Amino acid sequence: QKEVEQDPGPLSVPEGAIVSLNCTYSNSAFQYFMWYRQYSRKGPELLMYTYSSGNKEDGRFTAQVDKSSKYISLFIRDSQPSDSATYLCAMSAGGGNKLTFGTGTQLKVEL
């Protein structure tokens, strides 16, 4: 079993929809949680970063962490075609430990 599980999709939604992307993990030591967005043939870019449990909002994006369930989510409101990309979750125990990545969910927002 992988340490981080992420549904690969593809997920196809109409423009304006609310998108929910999720990851589950097994390592209870993880404390730092990140979401990266990767456009085709580009490098991953950091989208959101959260520490421990709770919510964090940045514009149309909300990151949510539930450590008791070992479950993290990224919500995208009013989705746009420009949001079409692969979204990678990543997490670490902190203190200079390496990141563990999910395999990514491919999202397509259609007009």
Partner 1 sequence: DADVTQTPRNRITKTGKRIMLECSQTKGHDRMYWYRQDPGLGLRLIYYSFDVKDINKGEISDGYSVSRQAQAKFSLSLESAIPNQTALYFCATSDPSTPSTDTQYFGPGTRLTVL
Footprint of partner 1 (CB under 8 A): 8, 32, 34, 36, 41-46, 49, 51, 88, 90, 92, 94-99, 101-104
Distance CA 6, CA 2 (A): 10
Q: Which is nearer to partner 1, 16 or 55 (CB)?
A: 55
Q: How far is the CB of 109 from partner 1 (least distance, A)?
A: 21
| Tokens 């149309």 belong to residue | 60
Cβ atoms < 10 Å from Cβ of 10 = 11
Q: How far is the CB of 73 from partner 1 (least distance, A)?
A: 18
Q: Which is nearer to partner 1, 18 or 46 (CB)?
A: 46
Q: Do residues 53 and 69 make contact, with C-beta atoms less than 8 angstroms apart?
A: no
